[in-house]
Amino acid sequence: MKLPDLEKWAGSVIYKRGDAYHRSGQVEKPAMTADGALIAWVFGSEKYATMVEVENGALSSICTCPYDDLPPCKHAVALLLAYLNFLNRDRYLFFIDTLYFT
Ligand SMILES: [Zn+2]
């Protein structure tokens, strides 16, 4: 999975919020589905299920939060940053089925 410039993708305001979420550990157990999408629970005022995948070379995100402007939301940014952090530390990423969220 190649990541484009996250700050450009999300805009600097959303990026900073997502970064703060990631730094304070609000992304729980990022995981990867069988078809390569990233998913996790992200905690804020409530708990949201967030998924990020690559479609035609571009990132796209889905989240259960009420942010209904154009994606992505801060939860998607936080998830991607948590994922990168996992990679940087050679941590094992869980593989789970998307059925987990249904
Ligand atoms: Zn969200």
List pLDDT tens digits, range 39-51: 999 998 899 999 9
Side-chain-side CA neighbours of 3 within 13 Å: the count stands at: 19
Tens of pLDDT, residues 45-83: 899 999 999 888 788 999 999 886 677 999 999 999 998
The packing angle between helices 12-23 and 74-88, to 10°, is 50
Ion ligand 1: residue ranges with CB closer than 5 A: 63, 65, 73, 75
**Per-residue pLDDT band at 101 (split at 50, 70, 90):** very low
Ligand 1 center to 66 CA (angstroms):
7
Ligand 1 center to 56 CA (angstroms):
22
Ligand 1 center to 9 CA (angstroms):
15
Read off the amino acid at residue 87.
Answer: L
Tell how strand 58-63 and strand 47-55 pair up. Answer: antiparallel
